[in-house]
Amino acid sequence: MSDQIKFIVDNLNKEPFRKNYNLITFDSLEPMQLLQVLNDVLAEIDPKQVVDIREEMPEQTAKRMLSLLGILKYKPPGNATDMSTFRQGLVIGSKPVIYPVLHWLLQRTNELKKRAYLARFLIKLEVPSEFLQDETVADTNKQYEELMEAFKTLHKECEQLKTSGFSTAEIRRDISAMEEEKDQLIKRVERLKKRVETVQNHQRMLKIARQLRVEKEREEFLAQQKQEQKNQLFHAVQRLQRVQNQLKSMRHAAADAKPESLMKRLEEEIKFNSYMVTEKFPKELESKKKELHFLQKVISEPAMGHSDLLELESKINEVNTQINQLIEKKMMRNEPIEGKLSLYKQQASIISRKKEAKAEELQEAKEKLANLEREVSVKTNQTREFDGTEVLKGDERVMIIFL
């Protein structure tokens, strides 16, 4: 209790209260004076509480203070039975009731100021439902709720601006520094003008200097434009070469359009598609299902600690040791039939992997060919839009003659 009273006295002697108490004078205050001190602290938090309690009924004082303490979310110690004791102690100015309230208020004055300010706008007035049947009352209530939401948004933006490092004092300092720099530059320009005025034909020389600066800026702009046009020409040449190569390959494919070759390509495509549907895709689907099952199993397991990981690592080492021992025993048996079978299995596995790799390469090549065909079609349409004519020569070049 002594530390609590000391904290209260120290804060009451500071700004903005300046009570000039000590431990003895504060502890000897009358109940009415103690209530006035509490009211002064509440008035610092909410200016509406500025009241002389001698001119107010004790019930009104207690009701007003209890209402504000409820808004500030002060929770008196004890249960519901102690709440009546708290109200009664607040009415009569009891020290065991008022001291904890003062201690709590003085600990967080700035925070409570903000809370009291927001409560003025965010505590919603409950309108009885029978009154809301009136259209005017309902519209007014709806407008009231919309304004409350707008206030929340604006207040949040205001707080973000306050915490974003935006400082008017720093801006003023920057402005004053720039004004000083501006004055220095003006003075420097004036000095240079005076020095130039003493030179013969200074007006003509100034005009030539301005023209030189303009021409230098124009030269830089033209150099930049020239570089951009070089880059565009380089990309255009590359695109032309790609289109020529694509057209050449397409002409070769069209030249080989015999029935036998078409049937052969169709048979190869059917074999490829059959392999993809019957072997490759089912294997990939099965692999994805196993991976999904494993991941679901991992997710369902509880979180593992360091000791669990060490235990798993030791089990893995034991299993690896057992596997090595079994391999050594198998090698010692030296069974030729099993050796041949393992060799055949290994060769079959290698062939299967090569087959899968070639199938993937073929699929990628088909996708690339489709993209190239689409690009050739786009280029052809663009050429037609420009009213061009395609001329095919013996060396398979394409010349586009713009009319």
Q: What residues form DSSP beta bridges with 389?
A: 401
Least confident of 33-37, 113-117, 368-372, 374-378: 374-378
Query: DSSP string of 109-175?
Result: HHHHHHHHHHHHHHSPPPPPTTGGGSHHHHHHHHHHHHHHHHHHHHHHHHHHHHHTT--HHHHHHHH
pLDDT for 388 equals: 45
Instruction: Report the pLDDT value the prediction gives residue 94, as an integer from 0 to 100.
Output: 86
Examine the pLDDT at 265 and tell me if it is beyond 80: no
**Residue 129 burial (CB count, 10 A):** 7
SS3 108: coil
Provide the token pair at 139.
């519209």
Least confident of 162-171, 174-183, 295-304, 323-332: 162-171
- Percentage of the chain modeled with pLDDT above 90: 8
Residue 183 clears pLDDT 50, i.e. is over it: yes
Per-residue pLDDT at 145: 86
Least confident range of 41-50, 191-200, 287-296: 191-200
pLDDT at position 219, please? 94
As a whole number, mean pLDDT of residues 256-281 equals 79
pLDDT mean across residues, the chain: 80
In this prediction, residue 227 has a pLDDT band, given cuts at 50, 70 and 90, of very high
CATH of 2-122, one of 3.40.50.300, 3.40.50.620, 1.10.286.10, 1.10.418.70: 1.10.418.70
Average pLDDT over residues 141-155: 87
77-130 per-position pLDDT tens digit: 766 556 778 888 888 888 888 888 888 988 888 888 888 888 888 877 787 888
| DSSP SS3 for 51 | coil
Structure confidence by residue, pLDDT tens digits, 322-371: 888 887 777 666 555 555 566 666 777 778 777 777 777 877 877 888 77
pLDDT band at residue 384 using 50, 70 and 90 as cut-offs: low
State the pLDDT at residue 283.
Answer: 85
399 burial via Cβ count (<10 Å: 0-12, 13-18, 19+): exposed
Q: So where are the chain's domains?
A: 2-122, 131-163
